[in-house]
Amino acid sequence: MLKFECPYCHCGVDETELVPGGEAHIRREGPGADDEAFEKYLFLRENPVGVHFERWRHAFGCGKWFHVARCTQTMEVFGTYPAQTLEPPRPIQKAVNSRRAG
Amino acid sequence: MQRYSAFSLFSEALRGHTGWERAWRSPEPGGFYDIIIVGAGGHGLATAYYLAKNHAARSIAVLEKGWLGGGNTGRNTTIIRSNYLQDDSAAIYEKARSLYESLSQELNLNLMFSPRGVMMLAQTHHEARGYIRIANANQYQGIETEYIPPSRVKELCPIISIDGPRYPILGALWQPRGGTARHDAVAWGYARACCSLGVDIIENCEVTGINRDAGGVTGVTTTKGDIGCKKLGIVVAGHSGKLASMAGFRLPIESVALQALVSEPVKPCLDVVVMANTVHGYISQSDKGELVIGGGADGYNNYTQRGSFLHIEETVRALVETFPIISRLRMLRQWGGIVDMTGDRSPILSKTPVPGIFVNCGWGTGGFKSIPGSGWAMAELITLGEPGHLAAPFGLERFREGRFIDESVAAGVAH
Ligand SMILES: Cc1cc2nc3c(=O)[nH]c(=O)nc-3n(C[C@H](O)[C@H](O)[C@H](O)COP(=O)(O)OP(=O)(O)OC[C@H]3O[C@@H](n4cnc5c(N)ncnc54)[C@H](O)[C@@H]3O)c2cc1C
Ligand SMILES: [Zn+2]
């Protein structure tokens, strides 16, 4: 069972309370973007064996979207952070790097 | 290669089974092959087999990081059906199903193909309308299916509760020629047949890099050294994204866990396959008497081959409601496989941005049934360098062009 801390409610939440939302930090293409840009935005995914930055919604709680840094191979969770950001914040990046050196 | 027959079984019995050969050779890799297939699951082995058999290719290696058939091919619930809505899907799945009918004879191994019939329950009005539409489409496609009323459902499957409180059964899509087969035997059968056609199957040989120059692919780096090739087929299901990144491109694929479980063995009580897609559960009974059970896939990226308890509970709950008689059965084993989900939930059989590299993936939760048809189409694609009519609709370019294969029945539920 996955367990995260909701960065809004500041409490531990179980997978049963959450809905997964896929890869985070995907930038939406504007009008006028070409087919390739839209293919990338809609379908191409990193799908890494390792650290994955992803979206989750605290559906049966506050209802807000937030982000999680998690390893897809060990299920280790590096931290959670609010969704209003274009890239993982420094403390999260540091937590990932300290556990995944090189 | 030694042939299996009633006579060989009898004569081996007389001499204490001391004369059996290995089922397939276990060679060391050569330095160069015309064609390398990565992944000895059903799809990779079938591809190699039809390359050798239909297209007379002679220099082929299949590289497998673990043991043959140890991926999803050995982890699925073995349902075979071809009752899809779209002509493109119906064509390749029906090709596969019809090849399964005589595959035991062709591969000289008993695959225990059992066309016992597959029933997909309609438990909402929306689902009922969807299945009636599929039954009509299947008529035009020449695929034998029928939409049946609840009374017929009960007749075919007496242990089912047709008037459950939450989701009463309104009808079902019935494919009498669907069924199951023994999944390991499918991998073993193709491996044996490949071997007798001269294909090298190399187990415990992980591909760790893909080598290319300006002209395209030149070979692979593996845990058993570098191996050169002219053409490369990537057929690794959940690990497709990893192999694509070695070759320098990305795929519209996410890897998630799908689980299955089996109960303790009981006397025969269910002689059809029943799928309940609204409540996410499906069930059949194995020859040993175990109920083979599967459900929905997890919604998040995962490479651990373990899934969430959440989905096991959901699946079991749904099935107990549909089959109250099983409520006190104990479960014996549970396991997971990493399935490769595409954006439109349909597979990919395609050329790639790198000349000489072809991919076969995205079968997701439902690619056991398609193994023979997929191998057939992939062999054609690799040989000609262009897809034939079975593979053509499944090219990678469809995601850029917005030309999806809208197969809603394949969405997210295992089958
Ligand atoms: C629980 C479960 C239930 C299912 N139920 C059904 C069902 O009822 N009906 C149905 O039709 N389908 C079902 N499926 C789906 C079906 O199992 C798959 O679609 C199908 O088996 C995929 O076959 P494959 O040959 O593509 O992949 P796999 O059998 O997974 O083979 C891929 C192989 O590639 C190897 N590999 C990976 N990376 C490397 C590397 N770097 N180097 C070398 N080798 C590598 C792996 O070790 C593996 O052996 C189910 C799947 C699961 C998990
Ligand atoms: Zn919250």
Q: Which of B206, B256, B303 is best to mutate for the A interface (most A CBs within 10 A)?
A: B303
Using beta carbons and an 8 Å cutoff, which residues of A are at the interface with B? Answer: 1-2, 15-16, 19-20, 22-23, 35-36, 38-39, 42-49, 52, 54, 72-75
| Phi, psi (rounded to 5 degrees) for B14 | -65, -30
Domain final residue pick, B319, B342, B365: B342
Q: What is the pLDDT of residue B412?
A: 41
Residue of A nearest to B342 (CA): A43
Q: Which helix (H) or strand (E) holds A38?
A: helix A35-42
Answer whether B238's CB lies under 8 Å from B42's CB: no
Based on the domain organization, do B228 and B267 belong to the same domain?
Answer: no
Q: Is residue B16 part of a domain?
A: no
Which residue, of B342, B359, B383, is where some domain finishes?
B342
Query: Hey, of A18, A29, A42, A47, which one would you mutate to test binding to chain B, going by the most B CBs within 10 A of its CB?
Result: A47
Residue A100 has a pLDDT of: 78
Amino acid in the structure at residue B183: H
Cα→Cα distances B304→A74, A75, B39, B240, B361, Å: 7, 8, 18, 15, 19
> For domain A3-99, which architecture applies?
2-Layer Sandwich (3.30)
Among chain A residues, the shortest Cα distance to B252 is held by: A44
First-last CA distance in chain B: 34
Q: Do B329 and B265 share a structural domain?
A: yes
The CATH number that applies at residue B365 is 3.50.50.60
Report the separation in Å between the CA atom of B132 and the middle of ligand 1, taken as the mean of its atom positions: 31
> Which among B290, B314, B342 is the end of a domain?
B342
Amino acid B409: pLDDT: 47
Closest CA–CA distance from residue A57 to any residue of chain B (Å): 12
Q: Separation of B171 CA from ligand 1 center, angstroms? A: 32
CB pairs A-B closer than 8 Å: 67
B122 and B192 both lie in a single domain: no
CA distance B311 to chain A (A): 10
Q: Which two tokens stand for residue B306?
A: 């373990």
- Whether residue B358 lies inside any domain: the answer is yes
Cα gap B8→A57, rounded to integer Å? 61
Shortest alpha-carbon distance between residue B262 and chain A (Å): 21
Scanning B68-97 for CB atoms below 8 A from A yields none
Give chain A positions within 8 Å (CB) of B304. Answer: 72-75
Q: Are residues B290 and B151 part of one domain?
A: yes
Tokens of B372: 């023979």
| Ligand 1, atom 21: closest residue by C-alpha | B73
| pTM of the shown model | 0.96
Instruction: Tell me the residue type at A68.
Output: V
Enclosing domain of residue B201 = 23-78+183-252+344-410
**Domain containing B109 — which CATH number?**
3.30.9.10
Q: How many domains does chain B fold into?
A: 2
Q: And the tokens for A72?
A: 């897809």
Q: What burial class does residue B13 get, using C-beta atoms within 10 Å of its C-beta: 0-12 exposed, 13-18 middle, 19+ buried?
A: exposed
The predicted pLDDT at position B168 comes to 95
B83 domain-assigned: no
Three-class DSSP labels, B118-177: EEEEECCHHHHHHHHHHHHHHHHHCCCCEEECHHHHHHHCCCCCCCCCCCCCCEEEEECC
Name all contacts of B160-163 with Cβ < 8 Å and 24+ positions apart.
B160/B274, B160/B322, B160/B323, B161/B321, B161/B322, B161/B323, B161/B324
**pLDDT tens digit string along A19-61?**
999 999 998 888 899 999 999 999 999 999 999 999 999 999 9
Q: What is the pLDDT of residue B272?
A: 98
Interface subset of B 284-313, CB within 8 angstroms of A = 298-304, 308-310
Interchain contact B224–A (C-beta under 8 A):
no
At B414 the pLDDT is 45
Q: Are residues B107 and B143 in the same domain?
A: yes
Please report the pLDDT score of residue B408 as a whole number: 60
Tell if the CB–CB gap between A42 and B255 is shorter than 8 Å: no
Instruction: Please state, in angstroms and rounded to a whole number, the distance separating the CA atoms of residues B189 and B144.
Output: 27
How confident is the model over A61-75, as pLDDT tens digits?
Answer: 999 999 999 999 999
pLDDT band at A102 (very low <50, low <70, confident <90, very high): low
Closest ligand to the CA of A64: 2
Domain match, B237 and B105 both: no
One pLDDT digit (tens) per residue for chain B, 415 residues:
789 999 999 999 999 999 999 999 999 999 999 999 999 999 999 999 999 999 999 999 999 999 999 999 999 999 999 999 999 999 999 999 999 999 999 999 999 999 999 999 999 999 999 999 999 999 999 999 999 999 999 999 999 999 988 899 999 999 999 999 999 999 999 999 999 999 999 999 999 999 999 999 999 999 999 999 999 999 999 999 999 999 999 999 999 999 999 999 999 999 999 999 888 899 999 999 999 999 889 999 999 988 888 889 999 999 999 999 999 999 999 999 999 999 899 999 999 999 999 999 999 999 999 999 999 999 999 999 999 999 999 999 999 999 999 886 444 444 4
Q: Determine the Cα–Cα distance for residues B92 and B95; give it in Å rounded to an integer.
A: 5
